[in-house]
Amino acid sequence: MSLLGKFATVGGATLVSRVFGFTREMMMASALGIGPVADAFNLAFRFPNLFRRLFAEGAFNAAFIPLFARSLEEEGEAGARRFASEIFATLFVVLTALTVVAMIFMPFLVKTIIAPGLAACIDDPLTLKQQLSCEDRFGITVAFSRIMFPYLACMSLMAMVSGILNAFRRFFAAALAPTILNFALIGVLAWCWWTGADQRTIGFLMSWGVLFAGIGQLLTVTFAMRLAGFSVALGRPRWTPALKRLLVLAGPAALIGGITQINLFVGQAIASYKPGAVSILTYADRPYQLPLGMVGVAIGVVLLPELARALKAGRMEEAQHTQNRSLEFALFLTVPAAVALFVMPEPIIRLIYERGAFGPETTEKVAAVLGLYALGLPAFVLIKVFSPGYFARENTRTPMIVTGISALANTALSFALFWFYAERGIALATTLAGWINAWLLFEGLRRQGLWHIDRELVRRALLVVVSAALMGGALFVMLAALERWMGSDPNVIHQSAAVLLLVTIAMLVYFALAFLTGAVDRGLVLKLLRRKRAAE
């Protein structure tokens, strides 16, 4: 399968997950709005997600895959199985201990790390309206966090199994597994709507839904691994050279791979000082996660194994070509997505969320945050393109320093801007920190001679920017023409038709310009079309 085909496989599976994620968020917004129960659930859910990205997906995709691939090549499947079993045993014990300790000390963690604003809050109109005092908000956040924290263990083990599948070039199951979470929460919300459950009950049931979905995801990838003819054994943890090497690589890689989650987590902790701000940030995060998931995750999952193989085999020209084409692919899809989300955030948010407990005022707040997040979308995808250039060479020190600088910048900017612009300041800080991170990673590769930009990449990147800018201009004109169809109108059909028309015109304008100007490889497109026709 070609590199583009692998991107499409992972991106397509991730798209399915993101679409159902939209459905989940729509139902949650209608049921909970931006009230204290929504804040509590989002804060509690973000905490295990942060650790999942830090110590599971980010670390294992960056450190485990190259070491596992080396074991597979040098020692065969038996050696790879022995290495994987050693890591699995250690991971299982550490995760069990971490889960027990976290659940015992959860009130302290909520008060000092997850949501310090809840401990310092005072009663306000929003909490009084929903009959939840500050103590109640703190209590349900602790309860939700305790229920959902074991999700971390499930996702961490799942990340290891997914790394094994990726090393065997089996990408689909690991990319599709997250959909189980969306199915579970959609089912919970549908049942709550049917029974007329109150908001507090909805929050508790959704928390349990997250936990059971995590178990289901782990079982799914484990079954896929067994189908691939591979298995791991749970034995006694031992300190081995392989484990030591993994920890040396995974420690820094954990911070690097989870930079987006670190920034979001810091932002939400600061936002906890303002009731409703946490939920506003969460709802705005979902629309821009769609292109980020389709492109960024696909590139991150596929690029690292491909780059590691090329470098291990000494095929430097192939490695450079892979890096440049990956960057070209990332820019081609993310730049127009960023422009569209920046130009028309309000119609998108109104169509997705504005119903039930989610009113027009909330739409304006979430749309403003989405517009600022959109400006950072290319940066967060570029991070996923540049990072494998270090990880595939088992170099985690440089990107760790870069990530530290970015995280400090995000924290400082979030604190400074929050007091002036509330949740919009946090979104702006996240975007600026993302661009700092991406630029420093690229400069590091360029200065070390590990990335040589070819002329084709420069030419196509400039044409992508021009095509996206012209598409943005067309959107501005169409927004004015369709304004009366996209207001706070209860007729969802009108809103849907108008947004669909906008998106369709934007895509036609952009892809036509990209094809005519050569921003996209026309030969590759025609080749793919010929293959499709031949298959039909």
Residue 530: other Cβ atoms inside 10 A: 10
Judge if 267 and 286 occupy the same domain: yes
Mean pLDDT, residues 280-309 taken together: 67
Is 470 or 81 the better-scoring residue by pLDDT? 470
Residues 480 and 398 in one domain: no
Q: Are 514 and 507 in contact (CB under 8 A)?
A: no
Same domain, yes or no, for 351 and 467? no
Question: CA 194 to CA 182: how far, in whole Å?
Answer: 18
Q: How confident is the model at residue 158 (pLDDT cuts 50, 70, 90)?
A: confident
Query: Which of 453, 477, 494 is the last residue in one of the domains?
Result: 453
Same domain, 429 and 485: no
Same domain membership, residue 109 and residue 94:
yes
3-class state of residue 451 by DSSP: coil
Taken in order 207, 208, 214, 216, the sign of the CA dihedral is negative
Q: Of 234-243, 358-367, 388-397, which has the strongest mean pLDDT?
A: 358-367
Domain of residue 180 covers 3-453
Q: Are residues 390 and 461 in the same domain?
A: no
Helices (H), 196-297: 199-227, 241-257, 259-271, 277-291
Please tell me whether residues 443 and 503 are part of one structural domain. Answer: no
16-50: b or e for each residue (b if 16 or more CB lie within 10 Å)?
Answer: ebbebbbebbbbbbbbbbbbbbbbbbbbbbbbbbb
pLDDT of residue 105: 92
Of 386, 418, 453, which residue constitutes the final position of a domain? 453
239 shares its domain with 312: yes
Residue 129 has pLDDT above 50, yes or no: no
The average confidence (pLDDT) of the chain is: 77
**Are residue 336 and residue 470 in the same domain, yes or no?**
no
Q: Is the domain of 320 the same as that of 368? A: yes
Mind listing the pLDDT tens digit for each residue in 411-445? 899 989 998 888 899 999 999 999 999 999 988 88
Token representation of residue 271: 């936002």
* Helix, strand counts (H, E) of the chain: 25, 0
* Structural domains of the chain, count: 2
With CA atoms as reference, report the closest residue to 276 among 43, 34, 32: 34
CA 405, chain centre distance (Å): 21
Q: 426 with 507, same domain?
A: no
Residue 125, pLDDT above cutoff 60: no
The string of pLDDT tens digits covering residues 371-419 is 999 999 889 888 877 877 776 676 777 887 888 888 889 889 998 999 8
The amino acid at residue 56 is: A
- The predicted structure's pLDDT at residue 534: 43
Q: In 3-state terms, the chain is what percent helix, strand and coil (to 5)?
A: 85, 0, 15
Half-sphere exposure of 338 toward its Cβ, with a 13 Å CA cutoff? 25
Residues 372, 509, single domain; the answer is no
Q: How many CA atoms lie within 13 A of 50 on its CB side?
A: 17
- 425 phi/psi in degrees, rounded to 5: -65, -40
pTM given for the model? 0.73
pLDDT band at 205 (very low <50, low <70, confident <90, very high): very high
**Which pLDDT score is estimated for 256?**
58
Q: Which of 453, 471, 487 is the last residue of a domain?
A: 453
